[in-house]
Amino acid sequence: MKQLFVAILALGCLVASAQSIVKEEPLGVYGAQHWTLSNGINVYVKATKLTPGWLSIQGVSPGGLSQNYRPEDAPSLKQLNTVIAVSGAAGKSAVELGRMLRADSARMRTYAEKEEEGFQGRCKNTGLETALKVMQLKVLYPQIDTAAVNKYVRINKQANAKHQDPKFAFADSIFSNVFGHHPIGSEKVSDYDLDHLDNDCVLRVYRDRFSDLGDMSVFVVGDFNVDSLKAMVVKYIATLPSHGRVEKPKDIGYHLFNSTKTSRFTGEMAEPQDKVYFFWTANVKYTLKNYLTAQLTGRIMSDIWLNDLREKRGWTKHIDSHCSVVDSDNGDSDPVVFFPFNATVTAGKGEATREIVLADLKRAGATGITAAQLKEQKDYYRRMHKESMQDNSYWMSMLQNYVLNDGLDFHTPYESTLSSITRADVRAFVSHLLNDGHQLNLMMTPKK
C-alpha cells in the first residue's frame, strides 16, 4: 500500500511538471517577454504601472467560426456568444459567475468570432486567479441554460416588435449591403434568427472551437508580480487543451461589396428626414503609413463635410465618418480601406447632400487638401498618440499587432511616419479610393 501511495504521488508530480513554462525570452520590442508553455501556447507579457494594481489579459486563437460555418447554421452562429454568455458554465449560472467576478473586481468573457476564438479579461492583480478560473470553467465546461436562452429570445422578440422605426431598417440595410448580404453580415438579430436558434449547434461549435488551443497567443499587459503571474499562467493556461491543431481562417464568402452601387428607398417616419450613407473601400497594403494616411483623410474629410452641411447650410447636427485600414475582412483577403459616411439631414436635402459629399471627396482627390488642414490633423494625432501611450489598451494593441502580424511595429516609427505624410499622399490615397475602389451609396427618404 505504501509503495502504491508513493507511486501515486510520483505520478502526480509528473502530471504537475508536465504543465510548465518551457522557455522564456525577450520579445525584442516594447520591453515585453515571451513565454512558451508546455501545451504550445505562447504568452506575451508587458509590465506597466500606467494603471497601478490593474492588468488586462487576452487570448487569441486563429480559426474562429469560419471553421464550422454552414449557411443553415448562420442564425445560431450569429447568436453564439450571447447564448454562451447567458448560460454560465460548470453547473453555475451566468449570474453566479458574474457575482464571482465582481467580488474580485474582475471581468472575463470568452468568444468565438468569424476568424478567431479566445478570451478577454480585465481585473485588479488580486483578482487574476478568479478571472482565469472563470475563463477555464467557460472553456472546459460550457453549458446551455435553456431558461436563460428562452428569456433572451423573448426579450429580443419584444424589442423587435417595438423597433419598427425606419432607422432600424436603414441600419440593417447598411450592414447587409456592406457585406454583400452574407447570412452573418447583419448585426441585427431578426425574428427569423431567433426562431431558428439551435442550442445544440451553438454548444457543438463552441466546444469544437475551444477543444484545441495549442495555437493560441495570450497577451498580458499591466501591473503584476511576475512570479505570481507565472504561477497563474501555469495553473490555468498551460492546462488548456492542446492536441496539435493549427488553423487559419477560411474563406466563407464574407466579403465587402465588390461593385459600385446606389440604392434609394423610402420609409414612414414620425419626423420626416433624409438619411444619406456612403461607404468607400479599396485594397491597400497594411502599413503604418497607409493606416495613418487613412486616419488623416477621414478626419480632414469629416471636418470639410461638417462645415459644408452644418455650418454653411444647417442641414444636419452631426455626421458619423472615419477612415481606417483593416488587415483582413475574410480569411486570406487583402487589406482594405473602410471609409463610411452617415448623416441624417433635413427632409428634401438628401440628394443635394449626396452631391456635396461626393464633390468634396472628388476635389480632395483631384486638387488636394490645404497645408493647414493636414497640419491640424497631424497635431491632433500627435496629441492622441501621446495620451494613448499612457493607457494599457494601447500597449495591448501594439503587442498584438506585432505578434499577430509577423513583427509589424506601429509604435516605434509612429512620429517619423506621421511627419512624412504629405498633401500629395492624401490626394493619392483619395484618388486611389475613387478610381480603383468601390462605392456604396444608400439613401432613405420619407414615404409620401
| pLDDT tens digits along 112-121 | 999 999 999 9
Residues 6+ apart with CB under 8 A from 49: 223
- What per-residue confidence (pLDDT) applies to 332? 66
The verdict on residue 3 lying in a domain is: no
Residue 232 sits in the same domain as residue 265: no
Residue 266 sits in the same domain as residue 225: no
| pLDDT tens digits along 38-94 | 999 999 999 999 999 999 999 999 999 999 999 999 999 999 999 999 999 999 999
Number of Cβ within 10 Å of residue 301's Cβ equals 24
Average pLDDT, the chain: 93
- What per-residue confidence (pLDDT) applies to 438? 96
The verdict on residue 12 lying in a domain is: no
| pLDDT tens digits along 360-382 | 999 999 999 999 999 999 999 99
Q: Is the pLDDT of residue 200 over 60?
A: yes
The verdict on residue 5 lying in a domain is: no
The verdict on residue 90 lying in a domain is: yes
Residue 266 sits in the same domain as residue 201: no
Q: Are 372 and 379 in contact (CB under 8 A)?
A: no
The verdict on residue 55 lying in a domain is: yes
The verdict on residue 13 lying in a domain is: no
Residue 266 sits in the same domain as residue 174: no
- What per-residue confidence (pLDDT) applies to 410? 97
Phi, psi of 17 (to 5 degrees): -70, -20
| pLDDT tens digits along 402-429 | 999 999 999 999 999 999 999 999 999 9
The verdict on residue 228 lying in a domain is: yes
Q: Alpha-carbon Rg of the chain, whole angstroms?
A: 25
- What per-residue confidence (pLDDT) applies to 6? 35
Cα–Cα distance for residue pair 180/440, rounded to 1 Å: 11
Amino acid identity of residue 349, one-letter, is: K
> Is the whole-model pTM more than 0.85?
yes
Q: Where do the H-state alpha helices sit in 65-123?
A: 74-87, 94-103
Which three three-digit cell numbers place residue 66?
469560419
The verdict on residue 327 lying in a domain is: yes
CATH number, position 290? 3.30.830.10
Residue 219 sits in the same domain as residue 312: no
- What per-residue confidence (pLDDT) applies to 12? 39
Tell me the residue range of the domain where 151 lies: 21-237
| pLDDT tens digits along 227-260 | 999 999 999 999 999 999 999 999 998 888 888 9
Residue 302 sits in the same domain as residue 228: no
Nearest to 423 by CA among 378, 359, 389, 356: 378
Total structural domains within the chain: 2
